[in-house]
A and B are shown apart, each in its own frame.
Chain A
Amino acid sequence: MGRFDSFSDFLAMGGYASYVWSAYAFFVVILVFNIWQPVLARKKFLKQQLRREQVQRERMQARQKQEGRINDNAS
Chain B
Amino acid sequence: MWQWLFKLSSPKWFYTISGQLMPWLIAITSILLVIGLVWGLAFTPPDYQMGENYRIAYIHVPAASIAMGCYYMMAGMAAAFLIWRIKMADMVAKACAPVGMTFTALALFTGSVWGIPTWGTWWIWDARLTSTLIMLFLFIGVMALRSAYDSEAAGAKACAVLSLVGVVNVPIIKYSVEWWNTLHQGASSLSLSNTSANPPEIWLPAFFVGFGLFGFYLIAIILRTRNEILIRERRTEWVDELLSTNFGNNISTNEGLG
Interface residues of A (CB under 8 A from B): 1-4, 10, 13-16, 19-20, 22-24, 26-27, 30-31, 33-35, 37-39, 41-42, 45-46, 49-50, 53-54, 56-57, 60-61, 64
Interface residues of B (CB under 8 A from A): 41-46, 51-53, 55-56, 59-60, 63, 98-99, 102-103, 105-106, 109-110, 113-114, 116-117, 216, 219-220, 223-224, 226-227, 230-231, 234, 243-244, 247-250, 253, 255-257
B52 and A16 contact, CB distance less than 8 A: yes
Roughly how many angstroms separate A53 CA and B117 CA in the complex, as a whole number?
58
* Residues of A contacting B41 in the complex (Cβ-Cβ under 8 angstroms): 10, 20, 24
* Residues of A contacting B106 in the complex (Cβ-Cβ under 8 angstroms): 26-27, 30
Contacts A14-B52, A19-B53, A34-B220; A3 near B227 (Cβ below 8 A) = no
Query: Nearest residue in B to A1 (C-beta to C-beta)?
Result: B42
* Residues of B contacting A4 in the complex (Cβ-Cβ under 8 angstroms): 42
A22 and B248 contact, CB distance less than 8 A: no
Roughly how many angstroms separate A35 CA and B250 CA in the complex, as a whole number?
29
Roughly how many angstroms separate A39 CA and B230 CA in the complex, as a whole number?
13
A35 and B105 contact, CB distance less than 8 A: no
Q: Which of A14, A20, A31 has the most chain B CB atoms closer than 10 A to its own CB?
A: A20
* Residues of B contacting A53 in the complex (Cβ-Cβ under 8 angstroms): 243-244, 248, 250, 253
Query: Nearest residue in A to B247 (C-beta to C-beta)?
Result: A46
* Residues of B contacting A31 in the complex (Cβ-Cβ under 8 angstroms): 216
Enumerate the 4 nearest inter-chain pairs by beta-carbon distance, A residue then B residue, closest first. Answer: A2-B42, A14-B52, A38-B223, A2-B43
Instruction: Taking A10-B41, A38-B223 as given, write out 9 further A-B residue pairs in contact, using a Cβ cutoff of 8 Å, ordered by the A residue number.
Output: A1-B42, A3-B42, A3-B44, A19-B56, A20-B53, A30-B103, A46-B247, A50-B247, A56-B253
Partner of A38, one of B44, B220, B255: B220
